[in-house]
Structure 1
Amino acid sequence: MLGSGPIRIGQGIEFDYCSVHSVWALKKLGYETIIVNNNPETVSTDFDISDRLYFEPLTPEDVEAIIENERPSGAVVQFGGQTAIKLTRVISDMGVPILGTSARNVDRAEDRQLFDQVLEKTEIPRAAGTTVYTEEEALAVANKLGYPVLVRPSYVLGGQGMEIAYNDADISEFMDIINQTKQEHPILVDKYIEGTETEVDAVCDGEDILIPGIMEHIERTGIHSGDSISVYPAPGLSDDQKKKIAEYSKLLAKELQVIGLINIQFIAKNDELYVIEVNPRSSRTVPYISKVTGVPIVELAVRCMLGEKLKNLGFGTGLYKESPYSAVKMPVFSFEKLYGVETALGPEMKSTGEALGIALNWEDALYKGFLGSGSLIRAGNAGKKTLCVSLRSRDWEEALPIITRFANNGFHITATEGTCRYLNEHGVQAERISRPSEDSPNILNALQKGSLSLIINTPTRGRDKNRDGFRIRRAAVEHNTACLTSLDTAKAFISCLEKGDEQVLKPVNIARIF
């Protein structure tokens, strides 16, 4: 059993959960288990979880030495996240059977060029795009597709290297960053589609599929799934869309001959559904969806990997019945510990933890999630509540009703010049505040004094640390002031504040909701 190695952004306790539950399932079935994991912080690295533990790096050389010493009858790579799945081909070439999805089909899902062929064969829609290796090829494709485009390499952890490019300069910058590491697999340049992102974790036995639940992200596409607020059951999807997601998931699982776990991400836009990517492994949402649906996903996956069929395991096949409770997975960030890091959310994951809210409706679950992550507390400073707004001009119209709701709920509104003028012209009383590059007193001075309760700042793209937006976001972190960089998050946030702190939320015993 390969673990996930040292915890880092994009990979952590979620895969530890999967590894431990898979070991327990194997022990229950009478198997002797060996874990390879070099992280002292995780439960899977405790000496009493498996029969034997190798505290060794998850590299081809170290794993090969362990295999030569142990001569295992099989290897499990699905539960250690991207670190483990990248070793599938190496272990298979050593002659050790891979339990679950084969090395060939892992490549077909992870390699962007091969996955494109899978989508062609199954006739499942996806954003227009093609694979490239060089900056020149990327520029040609981006100009043919039309901006914005999504640039993403293969076999990456937590969306590393993924960016949305809005012009040629972005392409040149992002390709230069990606190619600082030698790329053994092609890079995909896709047309960026702005829609609702949805996600499924499923168990497959090679023929049938079981989907415990469909999750919907509050933030629209373009923000990494690990940084999005995830809601189950999906409140914004129609029954027809859910059926289509289940249908596409089964088609992809059968074509990729998945045995065990699979994670699939989709874009829903109007009545169309597009596939973003397929991960033939556990994902960071497996513990979340297991807890809120009552489906023991990891144990079912293990039993399928050992040859059992889903129809005989007691939970049926297809889309599982929806829970009467709603659940929200709320990301938690550690920007205050990461000096100089850009806090604006995008395709590359930045969260380091999560909070969980469960209630009888998704609005109350969302409120619990914000409360659990500490966001509501930081925004509700004593005394005068002041919201500072600095937005891209293209966001002004969309932001107007959101900022109006903040004003109606007792927030004094301050805004940078362009945003302030637009708000005042459209009926929202706002006071102008200077940018960091302008004369004092400005936003930085206000943050130093502790006079701002909340900041909403939608960033222009790029990595220039001298930009006003970057300086605002970093200063907010350093002065412990909540800063929202997505209008979707801001809309969800004010919905929770409108409920009021006096609301009595009932606790839910998660062990008794099924």
Structure 2
Amino acid sequence: LMNVQFAVQAGEIYILEVNPRASRTVPFVSKAIGVPLAKHAARVMNGSTLAELGAREVRDTGAFAVKESVFPFIKFPGVDVILGPEMRSTGEVMGIDRDFGAAFAKSQLAAGTNLPRAGTVFLSIGDPDKSAILPAARRLAALGFQLLATTGTRQLLVDHGLACEHVHKVHEGRPHIVDRMLNGDIHMVINTIIDSRSMQDSFSIRRTALNQGIPYFTTSASAEAAAEAIATLVTTPLEVKTLQEYHAAKA
């Protein structure tokens, strides 16, 4: 087994490091697919082949497994929650279900994030992400959420037929978005960052979301996943099954 760290920038794939060891991903994948990867790796090192171990192919269990990281940011006042290539998590959890929305919802719940089923969603989206955020915004609006956004994002949503209330950025005067968050008016935040200026401007939003326990998403992909999870939560109760029940689907 080897642990490889990748990064993607402007369509280019980079290898950051390769370590001759297992990582926390190995037990996650093993549980997700029902194959003891570490055990197989040890036997391969001792001369066995994958064919002998019956591990040449892995059957689809029909389930989605979502890995979510757990971070200690709440214990460090003033620390930014923005992520980079360095390791900052202190643990990981898994959500598994035959429905992706349910699997994502379980992963968030296990990591301590309670997705709202109703309320107001704040959006502040960088220009490169504006078109990509529309599917999530439409889905949240269809679920009955009120949309709240800064000037540019609000104009985008209104231009695409979505009702949206305006709110000031922090530097634009009060009442601004942080005031609304502290007042309990905001139930989820979607805020994408495009450069160091937007990162600095939105620091207080991220920190307030963390302190107030407000779910916070920084990419259009995670926002869309959250919207799908919420759609599942409002219509279908979450089910708890053993890993063995999911793996039995392979037989």
TM over 0.5: yes
Q: Give the structure 2 partner of residue 344 of structure 1.
A: 82
2:72 corresponding residue in structure 1: 334
Q: CA deviation at 1:449?
A: 0.8
State the partner residue of 1:309. 48
Task: Report the 3-state secondary structure (helix = DSSP H, G, I; strand = E; otherwise coil) of the residue aligned with 1:437.
Answer: helix
Corresponding position of 2:227:
494
Q: Tell me, what secondary structure is at the counterpart of 1:498?
A: helix
2:26 matched residue in structure 1: 286
| 1:366 positional shift | 2.4
Aligned partners of 2:2 and 2:20 also within 8 Å: yes
Instruction: Give the number of the structure with larger relative contact order, counting CA–CA contacts within 8 Å between residues 6 or more apart.
Output: 2
- Indicate whether 1:392 and 2:126 are aligned: yes
The whole-number CA distance in structure 1 between the counterparts of 2:42 and 2:146 is 55
Q: Give 1:291 deviation, angstroms.
A: 1.6
Q: Which residue does 2:142 correspond to in 1?
A: 408
| Cα distance in structure 2, aligned partners of 1:333 and 1:311 | 36
Higher helix share: 2
> C-alpha distance in 1, partners of 2:48/2:14?
26
Residue identity in the other structure for 1:282: A
Q: How far does the alpha carbon of each residue in 1:399-457 deviate from its partner, in whole angstroms, 9 at most, with x for none?
A: 12321211111111111111112222221111110111121111111111111101111
Q: Matches of 2:33 and 2:176 in 1, distance apart? A: 49
CA contact (8 A) 1:345 1:485 kept: no
1:308–1:450 Cα change, 3 Å: same
Q: Establish whether residue 370 from structure 1 lines up as the match of residue 104 from structure 2.
A: no
Runs of 4+ in 1 over 6 A off after TM superposition: 265-268
Contact kept in structure 1, 2:63 and 2:99, CA below 8 Å: yes
CA distance in 2, matches of 1:419, 1:274: 30
Gapped regions of structure 2 (runs ≥ 5): none
Tell me, which stretches of 5 or more residues in structure 1 are unaligned?
1-260
Q: Give per-residue Cα distances to partners, 1:309-355, cap 9 Å, x unaligned.
A: 224752343x4333343322122333212222222334334333222
> Structure 1 length normalisation: TM-score?
0.43
Give the SS at the match of 1:508. Answer: coil
Aligned partner of 1:417 among 151, 164, 171: 151
Contact 1:416 1:435 in 2 (8 A): yes
Equivalent residue for 1:182?
Answer: none
Q: Which one-letter code corresponds to 1:507 in the other structure?
A: V
**Cα distance in structure 2, aligned partners of 1:323 and 1:264:** 25
* Alignment correspondent of 1:485: 218
478-487 or 489-498, which deviates more: 478-487
SS in 1 for 2:123: strand
Amino acid corresponding to residue 75 of structure 2 in structure 1: K
Instruction: Kindly report which structure 2 residues correspond to 1:103-118, keeping only aligned pairs within 5 A, or say none.
Output: none
3-state DSSP of counterpart to 1:410: coil
**Closer/same/farther in 2, CA of residues 378 and 395 from structure 1, 3 Å limit:** same
Percentage identity across aligned positions? Answer: 33
- State the alpha-carbon separation in 2 of the partners of residues 407 and 387 from structure 1: 9
The answer for the alignment partner of 1:440 in structure 2 is 174
Match of 1:344, SS state, is: coil
Q: Distance in 1 between matches of 2:152 and 2:51?
A: 62
The alignment partner of 1:507 has SS state of coil
Deviations 1:444-497 (A, max 9, x none): 1111111110111111333897x3211211121122211111111000000111
Partners of 1:357 and 1:369 within 8 A in 2: yes
Letter in 1 for 2:203: F
Structure with the greater alpha carbon radius of gyration: 1
1:56-455 equivalent positions in 2, closer than 5 A: 261-264=1-4, 276=15, 278-305=18-45, 307-311=46-50, 313-317=52-56, 319-375=57-113, 377-380=114-117, 385-455=119-189
Corresponding residue of 1:80: none
